A and B are shown apart, each in its own frame.
Chain A
């Protein structure tokens, strides 16, 4: 199917909205838009970061998911207690594939689940005593932990436990940071507020902590940090090597494969490199104001954007870095050319629809375009207007934008637009595969990765080819339903 015109896309949105009751329709139509690159301000065409409607299937998470799952969880040498009933921690355990180096259970704790396992009596009598005991037990069992964070689940806020007091007491007793995070799931409309709360907790409890500067730190003029890279499938590592080859020194990774010491050192950096704007712009802004560290957004998906980003980063430093930056770009060029030569003919002209969170709905567009593919629809689970401001320029005219799309809308859009590939989360994966549409799970790279950097681009291209050109997509119609002439050669062959 050829690309839709603006009128056709508008008609499509109207058609999909038709089934809703009047009130729901009015609300949802604000979240669906046809992209128009001439619009400067996204709020003129799309509403975002609003409460999801009851009764429609949303794909969003909660504040706890944003804080424990995204921001705090990957910090490997701290123990993150899921404070509350057991389920929240257990069902989100180790699902995000934040890779890290270390011995789990000895000096790193990334894939483990620590929970206070609230029972009825804890709800009735309060769980503060239990939390204090739990922290004491952790200290006994895992003495190499560098700190503890207490990630509140819903009941903590509801019953009004004073986790701050418990944390302060424990921090003084063990001389380690114990960070209470008020990220109860009911706060906010999506995980986005959880990111904000987690950022604020880092600001208040990590940066402001007494005695954090105990370890020696020798600054260099080329200190940078990677902020908002969660090392999914090794993303941060494939980004880091590029920066290091350029002659920069990466002093911290936030928070994939990150440590508490790295976080504490971040205010000493010369430049903060921000990959996931949505989840960590808060702390970057804070560091800019308080410590005078500039920050820039960068994009390490696909060679075009990588080259652009590397040059932008190099522009902050002296000529030796700029020269090395060109060397790095030249070094990887043959590899990139080989990847494009191999996969572009197989993928060119294919159309993609995305629906993810954070930075990907706009960042991966460049990757697809480098392979000759086109993104015809994109949307954020929990983006804000500033995300859409940045997206409008990346997307083609009269493509679809959908904010917090519901299960129904997304299915209908896919049925009508008929993309060749859908990239979204695990909850959508099997729906679309059963509809016969190739699908990539773009939250954790479908158990592949890394996708960042030049090395990641090679893997990205292979994965897209593997999915799109998989022979299984021709086998969806059983032989007895195929028209006779098609079934004929098969019978002969048998």
Chain B
């Protein structure tokens, strides 16, 4: 045993670079895992500083009985407790200004307990003065010096009291700026709200007197009141936000786990190749009496050593990077905390690397140990790799494929019906993931059988390309097991990327569709009771700050085809609203709607049993009209309606002449254009019961959130792709070493150096082609299945251009991975190569 082990380990010690090459995938994986751990540390540590709203100086936080709060009398008692150096009572008031809410919050404005800081002007000192945040000043037109009237108190029924005159005297910086905040000292706020209770009082306490103050305050707060230490309150606030960070990293961990599986696959296939190269040496050990068991043991020990060394290297590399990033960030002005050195996770990662590598080395070691001692005596020849797979493996593969198919069939059969209730997308998604996992395992089992037919198709153009192409295709097809092992890892990466792209573009289309229907323009002006008249629409049109002004009418309580469901109909001229241009249809076309035609929502179709081209009756009260369904939309119709008709038809249904509302876009771009348009609209339509909604803000938020999400997903999936490319590189490198004799022969027969390089590079690119084809074949259908299983009626998209780009980039990357090994192979003289055994 020890002799065998010594031989094996001696080999590893003699060529440490080869050991690193063999374990390259493990190294990358260890690096990624530990880097993720450090990233989490950095994120948590950096976020904790800025998370809490409660000022650091607040030693105690007092709250009163629920629903009641603390009274002014209690506050004056608390303020008199010896040891209390400052008290900040929190109260708020609020009202509506030009259809938009403005919150008035009590804050001392200076001193240890202030949450806001004056950046311009001064802090309010008497009733009627307020300070606002910069965004509020922009959005609501409340620059310093502005005087406005607003109702700030409300009676028990929520009716506004009499308006008060307020003056903006300063701008303040708050931790978060939502664009609707104003601040003033507590007495002023209490005067404005007309209430004398506070939801919370924060206290600064002289050092050392906390305990006494606490018991005194507890007595004042009475039963139902609560006194907590400031530290506890801050900790709670931090915890709830830190949980968000941990949730985010839980998602990251899932992708890292997939990358780990990929690394394991790469490592297993690399070991297989490495051991195949050493067949003769292993056979020799067997011939001189080494037992099969000790051979397996030695090979596994070698695997464990590889895992240990590459794991440690990966962790150290990640640690270096983790400590470098905050330093660089600080130099560029971003404050990031250092990650420290989490020892336990580091040990865990190394252990994971060792265990993972040992698992990866297991089957290759066992099959390598089955070598016959006679192999040692055979002259080296270019024996072809085994092409087929044994029947047990085939049977397992077919079973796995069958399982994947059954699960997929289950999902397809149980896809949500339109507007089905009690649909549980989470379970369905899990089933989709399980089916995908099984399909992938089936691919691993059956890979070698699939390679040849795939290659016959994918390699066809190459074969026309002359002997080099033929040789490259033959080289890959000649060792289908090796080709399958590498391609499967590439396929894993491509599957994930293709899935993300398809999923993202489906969700994007869904969002665009929803936005086209719910937020088709930057602004919507709506009339609550009395309709808007045509003159007002003209006034709005006359403003240069807005464009694409489209008024519309709405009729509620409409029924279709005699069903009971009450729908809403509008007469929006869809062709004139740019934001609707992207709206897709299920059937028909909504362009150029003519009298007697209707655009209907998916829900309308369901309740009326309709399809495009059908004639149906639309009823409102006692009036009915006959219309033809021109288009069926995949979701709701614009403005959340059930159907869109022409103005003539809506009038026939009894719609009054006045408009229900109008849509408008900002003429200028960016925030400035939007604010100008907002102000202009509010000015033009200023009147009771008319509201202006900024739909653009909502759209921006959704779009940027979606973009960020896609970036993160691609980044995470990228890990798996990197490992796959590393796998192709090592496989090509090792297969070049394995086939050095073949290279020598080709050179002896007159293949030029360039030709040999081209051939080997093409081969490694072919691994990419095979993997990418397999990955697309798996990834796109599964992404569609997952999108359907979401139950959101998202359209199934095929982002052809992006997928083609992924395909091209991946083939290029894998070909590049083969460039170095190919160069090395081409440098070897044919005599040396032919003499190699």
Q: Do A and B come from one complex?
A: no
Identify the A interface with B (CB < 8 A): none
